[in-house]
Amino acid sequence: MKLSQLTERLENRVVSGAGDPEITDLVFDSRKICEGCIFVCIAGANFDGHDAASEAAQKGAAAIVVEKEVDITQAASDGSSTGPVVLMTDSTRRALAVLSAAWFGHPAETLKVIGVTGTKGKTTTTYMVKSILENAGMKVGLIGTIEAIIGDEVIPAANTTPESYVIQDYFSRMLKKGIEVVVMEVSSQGLMMHRTDGFEFELGIFTNIEPDHIGPGEHSSFEEYMECKGLLFKQCRHGIANIDDRHTPDVTAGHTCDLVTYGFSEGADYRASDVNYVKGPGYLGVEYDVTGKTAFHVEVDLPGEFTVYNSLTAIAVCDHFGVGEEAMKKALKVAHAKGRIEPVKISDDFTLMIDYAHNAMSLKSLLESLRKYDPGRLVVLFGCGGNRSKLRRYEMGEVAGNMADFTIITSDNPRFEEPMDIIADIEVGMAKTDGEFVEVPDRKEAIRYAIENARKGDVIVLAGKGHEDYQEIKGVKHHMDERELIAEVVDELS
């Protein structure tokens, strides 16, 4: 591909070099610089790609993209006086997104891409949408916190929203496999770092927002966090937003898309009413009526008010694509995301589930929702990660002590800390409450304790690991899947 073709949609100016060279590769990792490539200088947390500009010239890069001046004193690799074409742009991160879209042939212009942003609910919503659209006969790809799904290929995720080059690579591969629709989680960091620039979303979705991801290396303030979330509504054709979240007007301010809403409030385009929290032997679910742009009775085999919100979002998305009522109802009945309020049926006497809740905010929301089912006891098992904020441990201990009837404190990725030190920190928060608890450091033994001591009518939630299938100890990730641990315990007890 010629440089002029690749940069057709990129605002830039040539600061040195000349010509229209053939580009052999698009590179943003200095370790992958090769002859004939275009090297995009990205300023990262640990390394600034601009420091490798001279190296790129020496190795024969055909072009270099920068956002600040660089000193390229070396001649081209063949000894001639002509060096690479150096292009100046306002943001090399944005440039990488625009160039990546062009490099892969703008696949998003053929695909229908759905972006879901919000503090909570992104993962479950994406899986619900995927389930419903597939049930309606569409081929759907997914990019999210847990994994990317490209046909029958499943790729574990490193980031909620991958780098722009990776996104466009996934889009291209999806298109080749006949995928029509892509549903993806869009983080505020992804939006802030221009990972989703270079294409337009068919749909942008806002679930909710609460203070989170604020601090060094993330967002400087809640206002910035909201502003970054709101960027999605300037990059999509159609928007769907939670009318009940008080910050929705701030997040969607200045939106350039048409906007519909969902929620419990009157005036919502997709409104939930007559909610019933369904409880059965070893089972929790929810049912309600949706009215507005569509009207039918909804049943979902997942618990809680947040399930109502997530399913309403999925209904709005699928209504946009013209999915029929019966297809929606059938898919919603069975939709779930791994590690998000995931039921594990082992008894009719009590309910056992796995959830990713790993901070005070998500744990509080989870326990509030489960409390509405009036359980015999609400039992929570959790730990906290090592080499992380002690404040999170205090807060989670306090939430569990106040909201659960019984807490089992165990280990969760102790990393380079001692598990008992982490447990002691959690107990500092517990001590502010009257909550009953026991400490069982080994996670499998903690699960055994929960199952052996379960009472009829209990709701037991294993919190913190969710979709994760490892335990990180002293820098080594050891395989550990709670589903497997549960199966082992049940087998041993029987």
The mean-pLDDT minimum among 165-169, 177-181, 337-341, 414-418 falls in 337-341
Share of the chain above pLDDT 70, in %: 96
For residue 423, the model assigns a pLDDT of 98
CATH number at 342-493 = 3.90.190.20
CATH 3.40.1190.10 occupies which residues in the chain? 105-334
Instruction: With cut-offs at 50, 70 and 90, classify the pLDDT of residue 212.
Output: low
Q: What CA–CA distances, in Å, run from 119 to 91, 211, 380, 494?
A: 26, 8, 22, 41
pLDDT, one tens digit per residue, over 271-307 is 999 999 999 999 999 999 999 999 999 999 999 999 9
| pTM, rounded to two decimals | 0.90
pLDDT digits (tens, 9 = 90+) for 140-185: 999 999 999 999 999 999 888 999 999 999 999 999 999 999 999 9
Strand 201-206 and strand 236-242: pairing? Answer: parallel
Residue type, 146: I
Segments of the chain assigned to CATH 3.90.190.20: 342-493
Question: Given the structure tokens 């699928």, which residue do they identify?
Answer: 318
CB neighbourhood size of 192 (10 A): 18
| Protein fold of 3-102 | 3.40.1390
Q: What is the pLDDT of residues 83-101, one digit of tens each?
A: 899 999 999 999 999 999 9
Cα–Cα distances in Å, from 368 out to 129, 285, 305, 378, 401?
25, 15, 9, 10, 13
Asked whether residue 348 carries a pLDDT value surpassing 80, the answer given is yes
The confidence score (pLDDT) of residue 91 equals 97
**Per-residue pLDDT, 80:** 47
Question: Whose structure tokens read 């052999």?
Answer: 24
Q: Where in the chain is the domain with CATH 3.40.1390.10?
A: 3-102
* Sheet order of strands, 63-66 included: 13-16, 85-88, 63-66, 38-40, 26-27
- Which residue is associated with the tokens 């479950």? 124
pLDDT tens-digit map of 63-84: 999 999 998 875 444 444 478 9
Render pLDDT for 357-374 as a digit per residue (tens, 0 to 9). Answer: 999 988 999 999 999 999
pLDDT digits (tens, 9 = 90+) for 18-63: 999 999 999 999 999 999 999 999 998 889 999 999 999 999 999 9
* Strand ranges of the sheet holding 112-117, from the earlier edge strand across to the other edge: 153-156, 147-150, 140-143, 181-185, 112-117, 201-206, 236-242, 258-263, 270-280, 283-292, 296-300
pLDDT at position 215, please? 57
Q: Specify whether domain 105-334 bears CATH 3.40.1190.10.
A: yes
Region 200-221: what's the mean pLDDT?
78
